[in-house]
Amino acid sequence: MRPTLAFLNLMPNKIDTERQWLKLVEPTRNNINWQPFITESYQPKSTDISLLLPRYCVGKPAQFDALIITGAPLGRTPYQDVKYWGELAALFDFCIEHRIPMFCSCWAANAYLYAKYQLTPNIRSEKLFGVFEHKQSQHHPVLNGLEPSIWLPQSRYAFIDPDEIKQHEHIEPLLEVPNEGPAMLIDQHETLLLLAHPEYAEDTLQNEYKRDQRSGLATKPPVWQKPSPNSETSNQLPYWQLNGRTILENWLQFALRSR
Q: CA-to-CA distance for 169 and 59, rounded, in angstroms?
A: 33
Q: What are the residue boundaries of the structural domains of the chain, listed by start?
A: 4-255
Residue 218 burial (CB count, 10 A): 9
Q: What is the mean pLDDT of residues 30-55?
A: 91
pLDDT at 233: 52
* Whole-angstrom distance, CA of residue 222 vs CA of residue 227: 15
What whole-number percentage of the chain has pLDDT above 70?
95
Categorize the per-residue pLDDT at 21 as very low, low, confident or very high, splitting at 50, 70 and 90. very high
Look at residue 64 in the predicted model and tell me its pLDDT: 98
| Residue 133, strand partner residues | 151
Q: What is the pLDDT of residue 82?
A: 96
d(CA 194, CA 227) in angstroms, rounded, equals 20
Q: For residues 4 and 74, what is the distance between their CA atoms, to the nearest angstrom?
A: 28
In the 8-state DSSP scheme, what is residue 67? E
**Is residue 34 over pLDDT 70?**
yes
For residue 122, what are the β-bridge partners?
Answer: 159
Using the predicted structure, report yes or no on whether residue 229 has a pLDDT greater than 60: no
- pLDDT at residue 42 is higher than 90: no
Compute the distance between CA of residue 129 and CA of residue 217 in angstroms, rounded to an integer.
13
Quick: pLDDT tens for 126-182: 999 999 999 999 999 999 999 999 999 999 999 989 999 999 999 999 999 999 999
Confidence label for 75 from pLDDT (cuts 50, 70 and 90): confident
pLDDT band at 232 (very low <50, low <70, confident <90, very high): low
pLDDT, residue 259, reads 67
Give the pLDDT band (50/70/90) at residue 1.
Answer: confident
The per-residue pLDDT for 197 is 96
What is the C-alpha separation between 127 and 219, in angstroms, rounded? 7
**Comparison of pLDDT for 223 and 1, the residue scoring more:** 223
* Predicted pLDDT at 97: 98
Residue 185 has what pLDDT?
Answer: 98
pLDDT at 117: 97
CA distance 198 to 120: 24
> How far, in Å, CA of 136 to CA of 143, rounded?
8
DSSP of 152-186:
EEEEEEEE--HHHHHT-TTEEEEEEETTTEEEEEE
As a whole number, the mean pLDDT across the chain is 92
CATH number for domain 4-255, candidates 3.30.470.20, 3.40.50.880, 3.40.50.720, 3.90.1150.110: 3.40.50.880
Amino acid (1-letter code) at residue 101:
P
